[in-house]
Chain A
């Protein structure tokens, strides 16, 4: 079980506030993207986020633009997983494609507060918080394979070379 400190956000966190449009068409490496992560939502996030931290948010996380940097920047910032009742479909795909675990958790997220410790066992499909465990449905095998290979590009490289 991987344990991490919670950053808590509300419903409908959109990709513009996760990674502003003004940077979207500039060439940028993931480490620099991480410096702008959550810039228009929580300016303290990029300064204080630690490797292994977990984002817990409300419904429809990642709505809006398809910009993949909104997933890449959080992965590069060290975020180990995002837990929310639902995700926008493009964000969900982008996160998996960047090797960033996204967990659709129907219950339990309301109780998880900023600074709490949350445990995640992705392969077992279990989230732990304050002594309670919550289970989430496993990803379809073809999608899980992408995540386990570290993202879509390494996954496709592997498939094409075997």
Chain B
């Protein structure tokens, strides 16, 4: 029997010919990410008693979670991170405003096929869209990676998710992944390595594949990969920070489960409060009043997402009593949106532009919710209290669904605008 993507990447990193599911190996990741949690990690690192980061070239640090600092304690946190970066000679440091880490790493060419990437953030899975094996770890683990560059990993069993057909606009990758998570549950792929394949994935943009990989964690997966192709190579041409060797699963690899979906018949989906797997067609909750729309985050803050929203909002207005917050995922995307006139369209429609960053997604700043308020968001989580008050409600949907809903003031199927 052949080997899965996870088996092949982990075996190569461990210097083994092959590796069994369940086997534990101590390995050295190629790239490690941390963000605003770096100051806390640096304190843990200091407590180990090692003076300097062992291999500063391995680490990428992006400030994105509470940027720019909204309170003195966040400012102090950022300052400690800048000091740590300077002291340890970490060159791959991206200060406030460059973008969300999960957008910045691909843009800077660190998310490469076949690479093993670990980050102290659960959405590190996003880099699977570029053919990397990418998974989240904790802060203590990142501190130990600073000290030793090594970590233990267990080889996961794999799921193959085959998505046939092609998505029909305005149905997008977000609707697809919400549908998948809704069908298998928040623990449906617990601890598994997920491989996304099939016609729909092949036809998708890299930005759309990032949505699938980003939300792999929301069904419990360790990682979620899309295999590299010409689109991947074209994107990385001139960006890739080093050589890379794509890794593909063998045709006769062993999967614990093979799941099949048809993209061509899919309708717009939403995750209802307060879990990501509480999914239904938009039509089931159409008419639910909303107070805020959020367009952005590491899930859906890319240029194709802003374009889709602009298409719907062009010449229309955000409904009275509704706020639309827009956060491009990076400076690069913001510049692209400016040159395409998208920002102009969104602002004229009544959008409130915020800087690239995580914004209110995790409830720390920039547009949190009051008790009794409801938000339709392109983010990846809708847990109770996540965006502010525990008495508020968050619905998750595609950029098209958010745009359509802020125009009408109630949750709306975006197909009404097509």
Contact = CB atoms under 8 A, between A and B. Distances in A.
Contacts of A14: 275, 381, 383
A76 to B, nearest CB: 14
A66 B137 contact: yes
A60 B76 CA distance: 35
The contact size tier of chain A is 35 or more
Contacts of B141: 93, 97, 152
The 3 A-B pairs at the shortest CB distance, nearest first, are namely A21-B362, A40-B385, A60-B187
Nearest to A14: B383
A117 interface: no
A64 B181 CA distance: 13
A21 B387 CA distance: 8
A64 B381 contact: yes
Contacts of A90: 122, 136-138
Contact of A153 (B144, B191, B388): B144
Main SS at interface, chain B: loop
Interface in B30-53: 36-37, 39-40, 44, 47-50
Interface string A115-155: 00000000000000000000000001011000000011100
Contacts of B388: 22
Given A16-B381, A16-B385, 11 more contacts: A17-B384, A22-B364, A60-B187, A64-B122, A65-B362, A66-B120, A66-B138, A88-B220, A89-B222, A140-B154, A157-B47
Given A27-B39, A27-B40, A153-B143, A160 B186 contact: no
A68 B138 CA distance: 6
Contacts of B48: 153, 156-157, 160
A94 B48 CA distance: 17
Given A22-B363, A90-B138, A156-B48, A27 B73 contact: yes
28 contacts: A16-B381, A16-B383, A17-B384, A17-B385, A20-B385, A24-B37, A24-B362, A25-B66, A27-B39, A27-B40, A27-B76, A40-B383, A60-B190, A60-B220, A66-B138, A71-B138, A94-B138, A97-B141, A98-B140, A140-B24, A140-B154, A151-B140, A152-B141, A153-B143, A153-B144, A156-B147, A160-B48, A160-B50
Interface in B379-418: 381, 383-386, 388, 390
Contact of B138 (A60, A97, A140, A157): A97
Contacts of B77: 25-27
B74 interface: yes
A65 B139 CA distance: 12
Interface residues of B, number: 50
Contacts of B139: 68
A35 interface: no
B140 A152 contact: yes
A63 B222 CA distance: 12
A17 B383 contact: yes
B65 interface: yes
B364 A24 contact: yes
A59 interface: yes
B46 to A, nearest CB: 10
B121 interface: yes
Contacts of B152: 142-143
A90 B147 CA distance: 20
Given A63-B187, A86-B187, A142 B138 contact: no
B364 A94 contact: no
B18 to A, nearest CB: 20
Contact of A89 (B37, B120, B191): B191
Contacts of B363: 20-22
Contacts of A94: 138, 140
B148 interface: yes
B385 to A, nearest CB: 4
Given A20-B363, A60-B186, A97-B140, A26 B121 contact: no
A142 to B, nearest CB: 6
Nearest to A21: B362
B137 A93 contact: yes
A17 B383 CA distance: 7
A142 B37 CA distance: 27
B190 A25 contact: no
A39 B147 CA distance: 33
Contacts of A24: 37, 65, 362, 364
A153 B136 CA distance: 18
Contact of A156 (B74, B136, B148, B190): B148
Nearest to B80: A27
B129 to A, nearest CB: 19
A12 B49 CA distance: 37
Most buried by A among B47, B143, B186, B275: B186
Contacts of B24: 140, 142-143
Nearest to B136: A66
Contact of B384 (A16, A59, A67, A98): A16
A143 to B, nearest CB: 8
